[in-house]
Structure 1
Amino acid sequence: MEKLYRQWIDKHQDQVWSLALYLMRDRAEAEDICQEAFTRLWQHRDTMNDGKAGPWLKRVTRNLCLDRLRGRRDEIAAGENDLFDELNPESVFEQGNRTQRLQELVAALKEPYRSLVVLRDIQQHSYRQVAEITGLSQPQVKTYLHRARHALRKQWSEHDDE
């Protein structure tokens, strides 16, 4: 069973890491999330179906991220500190780095849009896989993904006009 667990980690760690990093926008927190997700995988290894390990692991990762982000939002509502900085389009433009700009625009998307863009457009999962990971129906995935892409195009063009 340990060998199979190691295979699951080797196969999915890059996508789990990238999902956590995109959602959290902080390397240390993404590392914590990944560690927690892989710990949970270990705890469920005896009951895990080999074909379901990947989607299950990504769903757990996404949920852990969303839980942590909700906690941040609660702190902000309580006035403790502002953890969500607004995008600074001037600094992104000055950097001249289109990739960085796009990453920030994706990071600024609300859920579930951000997760859908990461899972479908960046990690190249099928619509079926994205639906399984997020718990949404395929039509919902397609609709929300269309809205997310529209918002990204709009934000991108607004920044070009400045």
Structure 2
Amino acid sequence: NKEAKLYGAELAVQHFFGETGFGVQANYTIVRGDIGFDNTGNPNVSQFALTGLSDTANLVLLYENYGWTARFALNWRDEFLNRANYKGSNNPAYIEDYYQLDANASYAVNDNLTVFVEGINITGENSREHGRTANQLWYLEDLGARYQLGARYTF
């Protein structure tokens, strides 16, 4: 039976600049645990470690006025332990820190019809997973940028 302690804190702010329609949102989340993976430990011995713990931050610039809505969001997640026993080898698998920039804009043509454009991961960031060191690359996923153009109609 294993035990672990987890603690954290989050700071978040949101502000709109008067009647301009412009605004900003920001947050930072800190997460800590008392059990991590010992990369210098014996690879023949299984380790107990908390997975998925990482700091995150988001910065969002907003505009909402005259039927227009626009949003630019920068999201970041720090490196984290994804698995403590990769493929039964007693080796860790870490997901490397990751940034993503998203943007979207929409216009309400009337009470029922809205047209929009959206870009997700517009800088084309990749997801990387590695072992005990960054040179021990387990996995690389080319996430690519994704774009949408469309309309929503409400009855």
* TM-score (structure 2 length as normaliser): 0.21
Structure scoring higher RCO (CA < 8 A, sep ≥ 6) equals: 1
- Pick the structure with more strand per residue: 2
Indicate the structure (1 or 2) with the bigger Cα radius of gyration. 2
When the two structures are superposed, what TM-score results if normalisation uses the length of structure 1? 0.20
